[in-house]
Structure 1
Amino acid sequence: MSIVPLVATMDGAESEAWRTALQSALPEHRICDPRSLSAAEAASVEVAIVANPDPADLARFPALKWVQSLWAGVERLLTALPAEIGIVRLVDPVLAEAMAEAVLGHVFYLHRRMPDYLEQQRAGIWRPLDQPSAGERTVAVLGLGELGRLSALALSAAGFRVVGWSRTPRRIDGVETFAGDASLEAVIGAAGIVVVVLPLTSQTSGLLDARMLGSLAEGTSLINVGRGPIIETGALLSALDSGRVAHAVLDVFDEEPLPPDHPFWTHRAVTVMPHVAAPTDMRSASAIAARNLRTYFNRGEIPGPVDRAAGY
């Protein structure tokens, strides 16, 4: 029975719930609180399950070879962990389906002009607004990994014209796809709604800056369910104030929780969501983590480690 610590920044009740779920999914190994380990036990640890861990806590394990993340995003781990430690991110169909559901809901919220109707409600105005059909609306999905792919397919099935963009070429049935920096400006310039589902890497940080936002058609709307720093905050506020961006639905931010004095809270053209687009499902994530750990313990293989150069 190998020792597998759960190293996480969580309150006690949440950590205990995760340990219980993980232990149930992987009964042949010991899932434990790292604080319970002796120095000899810590020295035997080869793999840890992590969720926003403190790097100092992982430094207790000199034999550590890799970590299994319980989250899809791994940008913090890439900067915090030594290069020799492998990182496996969570690739969960349940999470991807939740993301597609959130993206579809946010797109319909904008497409059916809910922000405009809310403005009218506050002003006591009863006025039907013009409404194009879904087929007349082009939605650009930036990021075509598993989360973006399912989101693009859901939008296409709902009748929208969907274009997809990624850093490397991808093919998705029913979706026109583009790749590389040279095509990004044209992709977002042709869309009425732009959805960001990109991971945060050195290449995507600040990708939508003032110049790129300036290529949007007047009145385009934005949805960010990827990572906050992908869109430059100052540039976005300027684009919102000018009307270049009609409305932004933001689920992710440079700093989380969003500070109480941040201008996004009170901006009339911003909808703030508390990073809830695709919450991790404890049961499915535990099953996936267990499967990956069995691959390692049974075959000595680290399953699908993150490409540190690519950032995902």
Structure 2
Amino acid sequence: MSLLLAIQGWDRSAWADRLRRLAPDRTIRVWPDDEDLAGIRYALCWKPPEGLLARLPDLEVIFSLGAGVDALLGDPELPGKPLVRIVDPDLTGRMTEWVVLQVLMHHRMQRRYDESQRAKQWAPLDQPPAAAVGVGIMGLGVLGRAAAKALRSLGFKVSGWSASPKEIPDIACFHGTDGLVPFLTETDILVVLLPLTPDTEAMIDYGLLSGLRRTNHMGGAVLINAGRGRLQVEEDILRALADGILAAASLDVFAEEPLPPSSPFWTHQKVTVTPHVAADSDPDTICREILRQIANYEAGRPLENVVDRQRGY
């Protein structure tokens, strides 16, 4: 009953220690320390090297340790075994916190008050109600739905866009190519929580940003992206900021991570950068969830949150 941890960019030993503590009856093996790949039924992965999973002769299920699975789907040798993504209330709650934090920061013009504080200026600004502000959520999966409901509870006029039709109470839902323009025209603050697929890669470009509503108290539209870095065309974001299409941006994800020191985002006065931490989840919670899924699978019950490889999520 061996489990393989195949992780790059995180502390492998810490994850292995957690699993051994939570599942003392199972054999926990860690790539690249364990060279014998026979007998491994389950692979727990975060950005494993291409081709590794294809070398596991007894593999039955692949688990992603994060919400995104684009790195796994990008492996041309990925075995045709069930691929399970994490859907975790803790992760969802943290993402909702981050999105609400960024929306409120821009709506309440906190960065301008920060400038006033540094200049020792007492400079109140006109503040419209949340109901006057259109917040558009791109991506209406578990994360997008939770963020939309939280923002609606604060009074914002919330709408959503997704590739396929969705229905959420009190949220105006748009979908597909025909729904994109009307969605953008009533959006002052755009929140991007899309999965990364061939259809969504580089979707957040200058043309899309140009469709956002710009007549508001913030001085222009605002972009908030906590989905994936490759959803956005970073040169186009900078151009939109320079042209006044965007008044500000909050970015948690980037095409290259860690964000290189040479990136203009670091020092841009209109950009808030966070280091891909919007939805950091508790590793113990993730491990417990995966072990629960494994126990259900071994008892003959169906796996949950299996990725549709055609859709990419």
Other-structure match for 1:255: 256
Other-structure match for 1:287: 288
Contact 1:66 1:302 in 2 (8 A): no
Other-structure match for 1:67: 62
Count of residue pairs brought into register by the alignment:
307
Kindly state the Cα deviation for residue 261 of structure 1 after the two structures are TM-superposed: 0.7
Stretch of structure 1 that moved more, 285-294 or 17-26:
17-26
1:92 and 2:88 equivalent?
yes
Other-structure match for 1:19: 16
Distance 1:87 1:115, change over 3 A: same
Distance 1:242 1:120 in 2: 24
Structure 1 vs Structure 2 CA RMSD: 1.8
User: Which of 100, 104, 114 does residue 100 from structure 2 map onto?
Assistant: 104
Distance 1:38 1:65 in 2: 19
Contact 1:295 1:303 in 2 (8 A): no
Structure 2 portions without partners, runs of 5+: 215-219
What secondary structure, in the 3-state scheme, does the structure 2 residue paired with 1:195 have?
strand
Other-structure match for 1:264: 265
Contact 1:134 1:158 in 2 (8 A): yes
Other-structure match for 1:307: 308
Kindly state the Cα deviation for residue 165 of structure 1 after the two structures are TM-superposed: 1.1
Distance 2:227 2:2 in 1: 33
Distance 1:232 1:264 in 2: 13
Stretch of structure 1 that moved more, 290-299 or 106-115:
290-299
Residues 162-241 of structure 1: matches in 2 within 5 Å?
A: 162-218=158-214, 219-241=220-242
Other-structure match for 2:8: 9
Contact 2:51 2:78 in 1 (8 A): no
Contact 1:47 1:64 in 2 (8 A): yes
What secondary structure, in the 3-state scheme, does the structure 2 residue paired with 1:240 have?
helix
Contact 2:2 2:27 in 1 (8 A): yes
Distance 1:38 1:142, change over 3 A: closer
Kindly state the Cα deviation for residue 302 of structure 1 after the two structures are TM-superposed: 4.4
1:43 and 2:44 equivalent?
no
Q: Give me the TM-score of the superposition, normalised by structure 1.
A: 0.92
Deviations 1:237-290 (A, max 9, x none): 111001110000001111111110111111111111111111021121111110
Distance 1:213 1:188 in 2: 8
Contact 2:134 2:159 in 1 (8 A): yes
Kindly state the Cα deviation for residue 210 of structure 1 after the two structures are TM-superposed: 1.6
Aligned identity (percent) is 39
Kindly state the Cα deviation for residue 201 of structure 1 after the two structures are TM-superposed: 0.8
Contact 1:65 1:84 in 2 (8 A): no
Give the counterpart letter for 1:149 in structure 2: R
Kindly state the Cα deviation for residue 136 of structure 1 after the two structures are TM-superposed: 1.4
What secondary structure, in the 3-state scheme, does the structure 2 residue paired with 1:55 have?
coil
Give the counterpart letter for 2:65 in structure 1: L
Kindly state the Cα deviation for residue 197 of structure 1 after the two structures are TM-superposed: 0.9
User: Which of 122, 126, 139 does residue 122 from structure 2 map onto?
Assistant: 126
What secondary structure, in the 3-state scheme, does the structure 2 residue paired with 1:43 have?
coil
Q: Give me the TM-score of the superposition, normalised by structure 2.
A: 0.92
What secondary structure, in the 3-state scheme, does the structure 2 residue paired with 1:110 have?
helix
